[in-house]
Amino acid sequence: MSATITPLPQQLSFDDALDQHGVTDPGRIFRDPTAAKNKFLPVHRWVNWIAGFSGTFTGSCIDLYLPDRRPGATVLDPFAGVGTTLVEAYRRGLNTLGFEINHFAALVARTKLQCTQISESALSDAIAAYAKFMRPIEQELDHAEGSSGGLAVDPSKLPVPRTRPPKGFRSRVPFFAPLVERKVLFSLDYVASLPEELKSFFQVALGAVMVSVSNYSYEPSLSSRASAGRSSIVNAPVSHILVKKLREMTTDQAALRKELASCQLNPAAAVYRQSFFSGSQEILADDSVDLVITSPPYMNNYHYVRNTRPQLFWLDFISNASDLKALEDANYGRYWQSVRDGEPVQLSFDLPEASLLVDQIRSIKPEKGAYGGPGWANYVACYLNDTDRFCSILARVLRPSGKAVIVVGNSIIQGVEVQVDRFFSILGEKNGLKTIGIYVIRGQRVGSSIVNTGLRENATKKIPLYDAAVVLQKP
């Protein structure tokens, strides 16, 4: 290939970012990029989402890039996760919308935005009624607990829930112990009896605590407790745990409702359970978005779909393997597991740096086929193709002078570093956007983006993993 190769755009440190904006108070921009505080922030603390934003980070981005909070301004998160960006925009009275393919994450994001329409007393009554419904059932079930997790009574003598375990759900070890499973199924019986808005609220809470009472845990991928060296859970106070979560959520929704009422704001908010690639075409007009704050899946093959299988199946969003496959196919960049075996994936755009990178990865351990360079090169090419598609949509939907803050991390694939942030910048520019800056917001990420190198130790020592915010602007 004869084209010249341009150097990748320069990255700036967090301090450079502050200087560049003339900011003297370091708390002013990009606060809490590591999401350390999110576990404690009202509403954001409802559900942990891997690579989720911190509310403080998205809030400070909005304050920085939309300081006048012009009424009618629109904030978009194309990969909304559990809705961190959307909630912070909504709290500031800005119109907001998000796309999210994962049913559980979309439910969480939507419930956060709609919860202010439920009265606190309706929630408290429903929680009290749930506790009352569960008390005798749970007492009877607890009574049946025998030694070392067995049952002291004939299971057919125990109360029987109406809800059945999801048929298509498979796990290597039984997901719930028998007693816990019955408690969860009775909880689902109760949830099924609720009107829609209360039902979503309870489903969010159940999805948030479900894995904590199961024989699996997030490490951060979903693994059996035994394989992670944790003891198994033979029984758990399911209704107590759920009520605690529901009460925390009720406190937060009441505070959010008051906050919005006090500033008399009634912004529009929507979450589309749809891929951004197809959904944006139907839903987003040209030049309609003022600010994008987003974090697409990292190029680390973190499997959002597999890791949320419990919530997807047990909350009845999906029922079989083909539903799972549809989600995998819609995922940004796909997954290595879905693309490793096919024909070599070609780049859909012309960029010598990207072609060289993909060719370099493809040439590593070719004898290992799908498990060596050829398989991983397909994954990288799919990811970069989606990045180009994404940038072209951004260039269409942003208003002139509108900005996009995109948080991504670098990756090490087959021992080769991929500076994903810089590719977002180059592909953004190729699609007509301007790079305002690439700010390294976290310089010490560990482990999770070193994918199948066989060089884990060396690679971590030589190449630090970082997260960066790429800020693009439409001229």
Ligand X SMILES: C[S@@+](CC[C@H](N)C(=O)[O-])C[C@H]1O[C@@H](n2cnc3c(N)ncnc32)[C@H](O)[C@@H]1O
d(CA 283, CA 281) in angstroms, rounded, equals 6
Closest residue by Cα to residue 266 from 120, 119, 90, 98: 90
Q: Which stretch binds ligand X (CB under 6 A): 95-103, 360-368, 416-424, 438-446?
A: 95-103
Q: Which stretch binds ligand X (CB under 6 A): 78-86, 351-359, 446-454, 455-463?
A: 78-86
Of positions 11, 96, 187, 331, contacts ligand X by CB under 6 A:
331
Q: Which stretch binds ligand X (CB under 6 A): 5-13, 101-109, 159-167, 347-355?
A: 101-109
Residue 362 neighbours by CB under 8 Å, 6+ apart: 344, 373, 374, 377
Q: Which is nearer to ligand X, 176 or 390 (CB)?
A: 390
Of positions 49, 201, 317, 424, contacts ligand X by CB under 6 A:
49
The mark string for 3-42 relative to ligand X (x by CB under 6 A, - otherwise) is ----------------------------------------
Of positions 33, 297, 372, 415, contacts ligand X by CB under 6 A:
297
Q: CB of 365: closest distance to ligand X in angstroms?
A: 28
Whether the link from the prior residue into 220 is cis, omega within 30° of 0, is yes
Query: With CB under 6 A, what is the number of residues at the site for ligand X?
Result: 23
Q: Which two tokens stand for residue 125?
A: 């009554």
> For the chain, how many residues are written?
475
d(CA 311, CA 202) in angstroms, rounded, equals 13
The mark string for 344-373 relative to ligand X (x by CB under 6 A, - otherwise) is ------------------------------
Please report whether residue 97 would count as binding ligand X according to CB under 6 A: no
Please report whether residue 53 would count as binding ligand X according to CB under 6 A: yes
Please report whether residue 99 would count as binding ligand X according to CB under 6 A: yes
Residue nearest to ligand X (CB): 81
d(CA 169, CA 457) in angstroms, rounded, equals 36
Of positions 330, 347, 370, 455, contacts ligand X by CB under 6 A:
330
Alpha carbon dihedral 187, 191, 194, 198, in 10-degree steps, equals: 110
Q: Which is nearer to ligand X, 178 or 296 (CB)?
A: 296
Q: Which stretch binds ligand X (CB under 6 A): 22-30, 166-174, 176-184, 330-338?
A: 330-338
Q: Which is nearer to ligand X, 332 or 376 (CB)?
A: 332
d(CA 191, CA 289) in angstroms, rounded, equals 37
Of positions 175, 304, 313, 376, contacts ligand X by CB under 6 A:
304
d(CA 36, CA 199) in angstroms, rounded, equals 30
d(CA 449, CA 301) in angstroms, rounded, equals 8
Q: Which is nearer to ligand X, 187 or 275 (CB)?
A: 275
Q: Which amino acid is at 234?
A: V
Three-class DSSP category at 71: coil
Contacts of 242-248 with CB under 8 Å at 24 or more apart are 242/130, 242/187, 242/202, 242/205, 242/206, 242/209, 243/127, 243/130, 243/131, 245/46, 245/205, 245/208, 245/209, 246/123, 246/127, 246/130, 246/201, 246/202, 246/205, 247/127, 248/45, 248/46
The DSSP symbol for 380 reads H
Please report whether residue 313 would count as binding ligand X according to CB under 6 A: no
Please report whether residue 385 would count as binding ligand X according to CB under 6 A: no
For tokens 């009618």, the residue is 72
Please report whether residue 253 would count as binding ligand X according to CB under 6 A: no
Q: Which stretch binds ligand X (CB under 6 A): 142-150, 211-219, 326-334, 425-433?
A: 326-334
Please report whether residue 79 would count as binding ligand X according to CB under 6 A: yes
Three-class DSSP category at 145: strand
Is residue 76 within 8 A of residue 96, CB to CB? The reply is: yes
Q: Which stretch binds ligand X (CB under 6 A): 50-58, 186-194, 195-203, 246-254?
A: 50-58
Please report whether residue 60 would count as binding ligand X according to CB under 6 A: no
Burial 43-73, CB ≥16 within 10 A → b, else e: bbbbbebbbbbbbbbbbbbbebbbeeeeeeb
Q: CB of 315: closest distance to ligand X in angstroms?
A: 15
Please report whether residue 52 would count as binding ligand X according to CB under 6 A: yes
d(CA 40, CA 29) in angstroms, rounded, equals 20
Please report whether residue 277 would count as binding ligand X according to CB under 6 A: yes
Please report whether residue 317 would count as binding ligand X according to CB under 6 A: no
Of positions 81, 166, 373, 437, contacts ligand X by CB under 6 A:
81
Q: CB of 45: closest distance to ligand X in angstroms?
A: 12
Instruction: Give the torsion sign (CA, 324, 325, 330, 336).
Output: positive
Please report whether residue 51 would count as binding ligand X according to CB under 6 A: yes
Give ∠ CA 190-195-200 in degrees, rounded to 5.
Answer: 75
Please report whether residue 101 would count as binding ligand X according to CB under 6 A: yes
| Residues in touch with ligand X (CB under 6 A) | 49, 51-53, 79, 81-82, 84, 99-102, 105, 275-277, 295-297, 304, 330-332
